[in-house]
Chains A and B, each alone.
Chain A
């Protein structure tokens, strides 16, 4: 079974600075998806960014980018120019590509605080 580990329960960053959230995963599969979801205090789960394992290029979405290291099974999220609205719980998630296991496996989350 796949597992996702987020080793940083909490992180903080100054507004306008850059922060990196860590995620590692364990799998024997070669093709899969990785995601970062954001959960603000409203509790809604919001997709931040997605990476297909077969793509070597790291995904980017505006101020959000990932560092995907397939061999190391590492998938970190970098937030540049942090804003107060980035404060939230961030979840790393894994999903198999095709096959019969369709569920998202989540890490336990990293609570990000943005200081003004």
Chain B
């Protein structure tokens, strides 16, 4: 399985932007980059995904490096409700095995 590397933890002040990095140097050409987050005592929820171009939705933005070996999830204004563990995963176009890892635990400081 192609794997990703994320920092174990990050902190942000409330209402400031947050940039969560992810390295995926072994990404293949057809792998999609997905981001999920897990709030305390809940299952992970979808945040955003992309292939090559930067993506925006109501929750976040995803910036993908030109060589696709890294990506950054951007929360434009962190709120206390954004405190969660954020997972970056690579989903291949064939097969159902993908690697979640341990993610980045985001703390939002009031």
Is chain B a partner of chain A in the same complex?
Answer: no
Q: Please list the residues of chain B having a beta carbon within 8 angstroms of any beta carbon in chain A.
A: none
